[in-house]
Amino acid sequence: MYTLEELKNYCERCRKCPLHATRNRLVFGDGDQKADIFFIGEGPGYYEDQSGRTFVGKAGVLLEKAIEGIGMSREDVYIGNIVKCRPPGNRNPS
């Protein structure tokens, strides 16, 4: 079994698809690694690619409001993406 840190390090070195060549930063995930709730998106957008954090643009604001609506904070959940690198032009990942 791998830790999330080990998986993140693996993803940092991954060259199995061309997305690594155009990303600014790997967007792995953040939050409580032992959380009962895990939100997962398709892939990082522009702001996520710039910051290296998940859901920081408009979608992030909306997600944080939804999380607060259930009486929790962003730090209480884990947030990640299926694809860890932003596809060029924000196209659908392939």
Helix, strand and coil content of the chain, in percent to the nearest 5, comes to 40, 10, 50
Could you read off the pLDDT of 7-54 as tens digits, one per residue?
A: 999 999 999 999 999 999 999 999 999 999 999 999 999 999 999 999
Could you read off the pLDDT of 18-30 as tens digits, one per residue?
A: 999 999 999 999 9
CATH number at residue 60: 3.40.470.10
Short-list 16, 5, 14, 7, CA closest to 94: 16
Please report, for residues 15, 23, 36, 75, 92, the alpha-carbon distance to residue 89 in angstroms, rounded to integers and kept in the order given: 19, 11, 33, 30, 9
Give the total number of structural domains in the chain.
1
pTM for this prediction: 0.86
Contact 3, 62 (CB under 8 A): no
Domain membership of residue 65 as a residue range: 4-90
